[in-house]
Amino acid sequence: MRWYRDITSVEKRTLWSCFAGWALDGVDTQVFSLVIPSLLATWSISKGQAGLIGGATLVAGALGGLLAGILADRVGRVRALQITVIWFSLFTFLSAFAQSFDQLLALKTLQGIGFGGEWTAGAVLLSETMNPKHRGKAMGIVQSAWGFGWGGAVLLYMLVFSFVSPQWAWRVLFAIGLAPAVLVLYLRRNIVEPAREAQTARDDRGQRGVFSIAAGIFDPAVIRTTLVGALIGLGAHGGYHAITTWLPTYLKTERHLSVLGTGGYLAVVIVAFIVGCFVSAWLQDRIGRRWNVILFAVCCAVMVNIYTFLPVSDTTMLILSFPLGLFSAGIPATLGALFNELYPQGVRGTGVGFCYNFGRIASAGFPVLIGHMSSSMSLGAALGIDAGAAYGLVVIAALMLPETRGARMAASAQNGTVAEAPAASRS
């Protein structure tokens, strides 16, 4: 951790503020999956209705990421982060008072806009604050916060359900979701807005319109970056959703494995996610963004095919879940640094929000495609082909991008301010 001792106090405060925001996002989001059985019992809703809430939240999260990117370019990184944290905290808290399925669906959808937006705003803020030599490590560490938030949600669930009856416990957990709003007070007092480059500052004084900002990522100077970045987002999310949607069903119905629902399996997956983010954080500052993404994409494709085409016992599956979780975490842990380094400051938030969240929306087609393919072949074969194609798309798209490691977007903070520096050569 020598690198951590070398960064400034402003960089450290920004790092841990973004880490806290994403971890709290993880808590609020994962709590829902844990309380689904209580919701089914409390309101006698179907599993399909519960799935609709989860799906609506994810789609809203992607929309929120797009909007937050534009907002960050319009009003600043810190203010956008404050708005998104307040937004998801407020609607998580209000979800505790829902009196019907329709009310909860509406409130969770609105919450999703905030949690999707928080990642985009925080990623842009951190990327512009950190020293280029350590940007990848910082972004990877922040991505690992989701795993810590996931673990925190499990612990909170166990604690609250131990002392509160199930029909009220889920409301208590949602009410706790207001806690992240306290982070905004810290952000207002301690986090520095990255300096704007001269041209961006002049544009902002002219009060650039929302549509002008959004259209900027399709300017001839950056449209190739936008299209290729969107393909990476599509492949990365498509492979992830293919695995998380269908792999448990495949292992349970075709391989008849029983370990999936155990606490041991969940613990392995959470730890693997955190370790994967840390490994990716270290590697991307050493081998570069492109090769890091390619390495993890190839490893994910190999692991999925091992699961689907080789004999797997309960014990073997539990062991293999660690490298699978590790490799699947490595790609998103790289995308924050990669996407930020591809865009000029004036449209950086919009570009990052689009590349990451276009992929989240469009990737919904991958699990659907597996379902259709499984009618004419085994589910395992459909899963292996589909996930392999998704991660293959990541590899091809990454090869079409320049290497951005070391790109100087903002110099290290000095005396509480951040000075803009020239971009590095992108050979």
Instruction: Write the CA distances from 234 to 122, 365, 413, integer angstroms.
Output: 21, 10, 34
Mean pLDDT value of segment 223-236:
93
Local confidence band at 422 (pLDDT 50, 70, 90 cut-offs): very low
Do residues 417 and 255 lie in contact, with contact meaning Cβ atoms separated by under 8 Å?
no
Instruction: Write the CA distances from 144 to 23, 332, 345, integer angstroms.
Output: 8, 10, 25
Check residue 341 and give its pLDDT: 92
Check residue 234 and give its pLDDT: 93
Q: Give the pLDDT confidence of 252-296 residue by residue, as tens digits.
A: 777 776 666 556 777 888 899 999 999 999 999 999 999 999 999
The pTM score is 0.82
Domains and CATH numbers, the chain: 8-190+201-208 (1.20.1250.20), 217-403 (1.20.1250.20)
In the block, which residue shows the tokens 């073997």?
A: 316
Q: Give the pLDDT confidence of 44-84 residue by residue, as tens digits.
A: 888 778 878 877 888 898 899 999 999 999 889 999 999 99
CA distance 384 to 80: 39
Q: At what angle do helices 135-163 and 166-176 cross, to 10 degrees?
A: 150
Check residue 410 and give its pLDDT: 44
Mean pLDDT value of segment 218-245:
89
For residues 259, 261, 267 and 270, what is the CA-based torsion angle, rounded to 10 degrees?
110
Mean pLDDT value of segment 93-99:
94
Local confidence band at 116 (pLDDT 50, 70, 90 cut-offs): confident
User: What is the CB-side half-sphere exposure of residue 396 using CA atoms within 13 A?
Assistant: 11
364 vs 135 pLDDT, higher one = 135
Check residue 284 and give its pLDDT: 93
Cα Rg of the chain (Å, integer): 21
Of 235, 303, 244, the C-alpha closest to 58 is 244
Mean pLDDT of the chain: 84
Give the three-state DSSP class for 191.
coil
Q: Give the pLDDT confidence of 365-392 residue by residue, as tens digits.
A: 888 888 888 888 888 888 888 889 999 9
Check residue 26 and give its pLDDT: 84
244 vs 219 pLDDT, higher one = 219
Give backbone dihedrals phi and psi of 257, rounded to 5 degrees, phi first: -90, 145
Mean pLDDT value of segment 198-221:
66
CA distance 119 to 352: 10
Check residue 207 and give its pLDDT: 55
Portion of the chain with pLDDT greater than 90, in percent: 41
Given a cut of 60, whether residue 204 has pLDDT beyond it is: no
